Amino acid sequence: MNPNSNRRRLRASWNTTAALLILAVLLFPVYWMLNTALQPESSVAATEWFPASPGLENFDTAFSSQGGSLLTSFVVALGAVAVCLSLAAPAAYGLAQFGLRGGQGIVFTTLITQMVPGIVIANALYSAYAELGLVNSYLGLILADASLGLPFAIVLLRAFMVSIPNEVVEAAMVDGANRFTAFVRIVLPMSRNALITAGLFTFLFAWSDFMFALTLNTTDDVKPITLGIYQFVGAHVSDWGAVMATAVLSAVPAAILLVVAQKYISAGITGGSIK
Amino acid sequence: MSTFASTAPATKTSGSSAAPARAGSGTRRRGLLRWLFVAPALAYMALFFGYPLVRNIVMSFQHYTPKTYFTGEAPFNGLDNWRAVFSNELFAGSLWHTALFTAGSLLGQFTIGLALAVFFSRRFRLSGLVRAILLLPWLVPMVVSAVVWRRILDQDHGMLNSALHAVGLTEGGVPWLSSPGVALLSAIMVNIWIGIPFNMVILYGGLQEIPRELYEASSLDGASPWRTFRSITLPLLRPVVTVVLVLGFMSTVKILDLILALTSGGPADSTQTLGTVTYQLSFLQLDFGQGAVVGNVLILISAVFAVLYLRANRADFGKGQ
């Protein structure tokens, strides 16, 4: 073994060590969240550095007080995914394949909409929702949350659908399918991966939403977990163990996404950065 | 957006696929049918993005009171809301806090993000895995992160003060969130932490696009690492830097979740931003007219930067589509 490659190997292992150190520093708050959640005795007083005798009691408390909110978040996020994809998929296909006049302008506008501040939307939506009776309703929150993923979903799906050969769809249409049937039977199955990615991110955006949950609900009828933990901290600051257990539970979708859709996350970061 | 194009499979220009499609459809009816694919999404965007923009402008000239939602009456009151907001000290303060918060956050996020992006561009074991796990803080709901930090930064029982005390750095314990002089700085610190992954990922992507030969040439010329960074990396990274900074700006300037969960705008209004003031005026004082004024200011600031973004991104936009 020549000394040069030895030196390179040594440097590489130093780099790995440094990377792990960076990871430890930057993920410390995540560790602290888990650590506190696993210590049943951690009340107001300071928390131990390690969960020497870990217990899941905090998670029991979290489930019993915030379980309903977790379910609400799940339902709302799934609803938002359904609304978002059923709007975005046909639109993306139309924009990718039909050469519509003004299509460029529409894609452009889609990108711009991501820059409208959420609080501005909430401000106007509240008035409209009050008139329509959509305040404190699942439907109202689902519709609003779909806006968080829609621009990203359209842009992502369109970028994918541009590469679907037109001949495939034309062939189906020769066989008697109309354009819409061809879209459902041919284009959607071909776009499965892109649809899953857009759906996962829309789920995460809706799950993470706090703004619409806070502003479009005046009662506890529809209380997603983000609103739940916010009020939990206001009311029960003494029980930090349970708060942290709730935090861990509400971070689960993020962790799942990190594992299953890791290679798409950089695309999602760009798309969701201005949510 | 360049990042979209690079992550999407083989993006061709739409011209090649559009031309035969257009030739195939002669009749107007088929043209209309095609619009039916796009129409629902367009209608949705008009309702959930277009309408709020217009409605906010109208609302800013209307007098809303808590009674409005019973009577339905919100009479026009000219420039009263605008005058009230612009003479409100809370608004002036929030403008200043928003500027500090945004500048501080971007500076920290960008510097650390760039350093990490450069670091992870080296090839070593576990680099990809560590980079992936580092994204977690960006994926966790912001309110949740803020709540965790609120515990860590607690003056009496927080982990940060215990640690500082243990190594003998502080005697009393820093009032991270409870002193008006420190709270904004703490909020900036937390937001830097949240924003690092975003900056790192995009800048890392940009670094990968720089041709390796340039670095080889510069190393043959005997240039120092710093010189290489300044003369090759930075200039070639500039378009990506603009994108990162502008996107970061747009998401930071309207911040709300983080502040509400961390400090609720306090202590003594020292962390009120344009976002929290809009929320407070509209949803706590139920003066939606004044809330709309602040919202419009927020839109105006965002619009200026949107134009900057589109200018910087114009070349990319044409290419990517």
Rounded to two decimals, the pTM is 0.88
One DSSP character per residue, A158-227 reads: HHHHTTS-HHHHHHHHHTT--HHHHIIIIIHHHTHHHHHHHHHHHHHHHHH--HHHHHS-SSSSS--HHH
Candidates A34, A135, A273, A275: best to mutate against B (most CBs of B within 10 A) is A273
Residues of A in contact with B141 (CB under 8 A): 207-208, 210, 225-226, 250-251, 254
Three-state DSSP at A220 gives coil
User: At residue A51, does pLDDT exceed 90?
Assistant: no
Q: What type of residue sits at position B57?
A: I
Contact B299 A273 (CB under 8 A): no
Query: Does the pLDDT at position B304 exceed 80?
Result: yes
The alpha carbon of residue A2 and the mean position of all alpha carbons in its chain are separated, in whole angstroms, by 50
pLDDT of B8 > 80? The answer is no
Q: How far is CA B40 from the centre of its chain?
A: 28
Q: Where are the beta strands (DSSP E) in chain B?
A: none
pLDDT in tens, A2-24: 667 787 778 778 999 999 999 99
Is A99 within 8 Å of B302 when comparing Cβ atoms? no
Q: Are A91 and B38 contacting, i.e. CB atoms less than 8 angstroms apart?
A: yes
**pLDDT tens for each residue of A118-141:** 999 999 999 899 989 999 999 999
% of chain A exceeding 70 in pLDDT: 91
How long, in residues, is chain B?
321
User: Complex ipTM, two decimals?
Assistant: 0.90
Which residue in B has a C-alpha nearest to residue A111's C-alpha? B1
Coil, strand or helix at B227: helix
Considering only CB atoms, B38 lies closest to which of A100, A144, A150, namely A100
The pLDDT of B291-304, averaged and rounded, is 94
Q: What is the pLDDT of residue B11?
A: 37
Residue B235 has pLDDT above 70, yes or no: yes
| Residue B253 binned pLDDT confidence (cut-offs 50, 70, 90) | very high
A57-85 pLDDT, tens digit each: 899 999 999 999 999 999 999 999 999 99
- Inter-CA distances, B97 with B64, B244, B277, B280, Å: 27, 22, 11, 16
State the pLDDT at residue A249.
Answer: 95
Per-residue pLDDT tens over the stretch B193-213: 999 998 998 899 889 888 988
CB contact under 8 A, A117 and B34: no
Q: Do A112 and B306 touch (CB under 8 A)?
A: yes
Are the beta carbons of B37 and A93 separated by less than 8 Å? yes
